[in-house]
Amino acid sequence: MKKTIVKSKPDLNQASKRTAGIIETIRFDINAVDSLIGQGKLANVQTYGCQGNVADGDAIIGLLEKLGYKITDDENQADLILLNTCAVREGAENKIWGIVGRLKRVKKARNGVLIGLCGCMAQEETTITTIQEKYPQIDLVFGTHNIHELPHMLKQAMSGQKLIQVYSDSSTIVEELPRVREYKHKAFVNIMYGCDEFCSYCIVPYTRGKKRSRAKADIFKEIDDLILSGYSEITLLGQNVNAYGTDFEDSSYSFGDLLDDLAKTNLKRLRFTTNHPHYLDEKTIKAMANHSMIMPHLHLPVQAGSNRVLELMNRKYTKEEYLEKINLLKVLVPGISITTDIIVGFSGESQKDFEETLDLVKEAAFEGAFTFIYSKREGTPAALFKDDTSIEEKKLRLKTLNTVVNEGYLKGHKRFVGEIVEVLVDGVSKNNELILSGYSQHNKLVNFPGDKSLIGKLVSVKITKANTWFMSGELI
């Protein structure tokens, strides 16, 4: 059996400690990667979780290509398989363990295949212990803070050593990593990393580390390059984009200012996600109102509709404050579409608390929501809260909630029937090669017949039919 080199292991407790210390920016030198250890080899990268993880996956693929690898979707052909994991709920983790189990066979079938695990799960001690005890098929584990070390780590793993190299410290920002993006017309751009909110249920502040905003100049360089390459739409990314800049020594430049400055570029469409209600300020709302290039859609996770539960969750706002903010949004950005995230069955959530969530969903008139049953995350404060609601009851609450949420999706589509909307064409529909699909300004999925040559273009579509999950239309 191969020897495992444990260079550094994660520590959730250490990760939770926020020190004011200076954030160091590392400028990655792509020219220094001169080894071609992947030449003639195939790599398969499987990314799970949020857009932040997808962005990391793009950098991982960028690095692998630089090392000479070709990327494949087929894990049975690959010489290297990387699982870029998510830890946000138990279900997400179980899925990964299922895949790790399956990969044992892949590894047996083909000698020399390397298997790596990275992403948020790699940042948890329990993951490392489980791998060491149960999954010898994993050769390499690295975390969310050291993707840039991949060339070195791979070299070591290839030389026959198993390697675990995960850091809990998050006082760096790595710039200039190569990225291979999925689309040629729309891109995601990180404006910040990490999260300092510590919502009591959430593992993200531990797995992604402390809040670090990218320098304005670095953000602009990336975005200007994308615009020059013909990108029409950019989505700014962060766990809490509204808190952009609050970690700078001079915090006078805020997210709203960044929006105002981005509106001066000739980018056609700007989006941003995710937003935290506590930090959503008037400046941001006004920027949305003033600049037509900022799309009239906001994803504003509310999580719960009962003030008691919101407090237990450490969300830092009340239901009333939340409603006040979205009412202002609706006044200043007429027709805006608001979507959200909701957790049901949080520890201690009573039937009455849940009904308050239902009331809020109706009052807010959300046009979409990601809904989840609370999943206990070891190491978070809420893991210690008393939870006496049965899983059957939680499932029932989720079902009841989804019925209301789905009505909101449908209503949000119905209001466009007969209207002409602008769609950025992403590609052909999943089920029919002759149907194009893309998103409207309000972030509604639109399907319509059209030619593939329109992929990547902004087109006008007349909406003819509203369904729950998408709208259908015809090209104008």
b/e per residue, 274-292, with b = 16+ CB within 10 A?
bbbbbbbeeebbbbbbeee
Question: Could you list the residues that contact ligand F3S (CB under 6 A)?
Answer: 49-50, 52-53, 86-88, 119-120, 203-204, 207-208
For tokens 């098929």, name the residue.
137
Query: How many chain residues interact with ligand SF4 (CB under 6 A)?
Result: 10
Question: Could you list the residues that contact ligand SAH (CB under 6 A)?
Answer: 88-89, 201-202, 204, 239-240, 274, 276, 301, 303, 341, 343, 372, 374-375, 377
Token pair, residue 222, equals 């990336």
Out of ligand SAH, ligand SF4, ligand F3S, none, what residue 284 binds, judged by CB under 5 to 8 A for its kind, is none
Q: List the beta bridge partners of residue 4.
A: 162
Closest separation in Å from C-beta 235 to ligand F3S:
15
Asked whether 399 and 392 are in contact (CB, 8 A), the reply is no
Closest separation in Å from C-beta 202 to ligand SAH:
4
Distances (CA, A) of 3 to 7, 132, 159, 345: 12, 11, 11, 44
Cβ nearer to ligand SF4, comparing 10 with 238: 238
Cα–Cα distance for residue pair 266/162, rounded to 1 Å: 48
347 binds ligand SF4 (CB under 6 A): no
Residue ranges in 189-228 that form contacts with ligand SF4 under rule CB under 6 A:
195, 197-199, 202, 204-205
Closest separation in Å from C-beta 259 to ligand SAH:
18
Q: List the beta bridge partners of residue 343.
A: 372
Cβ nearer to ligand SF4, comparing 97 with 198: 198
Out of ligand SF4, ligand F3S, ligand SAH, none, what residue 198 binds, judged by CB under 5 to 8 A for its kind, is ligand SF4
Closest separation in Å from C-beta 276 to ligand SAH:
5
Cα–Cα distance for residue pair 258/222, rounded to 1 Å: 14
CB neighbour list of residue 129: distance below 8 Å, 6 or more residues apart = none
Closest separation in Å from C-beta 464 to ligand F3S:
36
Asked whether 290 and 264 are in contact (CB, 8 A), the reply is no
Closest separation in Å from C-beta 212 to ligand SF4:
13
Token pair, residue 476, equals 């104008």
Q: List the beta bridge partners of residue 118.
A: 84
Out of ligand SF4, ligand F3S, ligand SAH, none, what residue 205 binds, judged by CB under 5 to 8 A for its kind, is ligand SF4
Closest separation in Å from C-beta 343 to ligand SAH:
5
| Span between the terminal Cα atoms of the chain, in Å | 64
Number of Cβ atoms within 10 Å of the Cβ of 7: 15
Binding site residues, ligand SF4, CB under 6 A: 195, 197-199, 202, 204-205, 239-240, 276
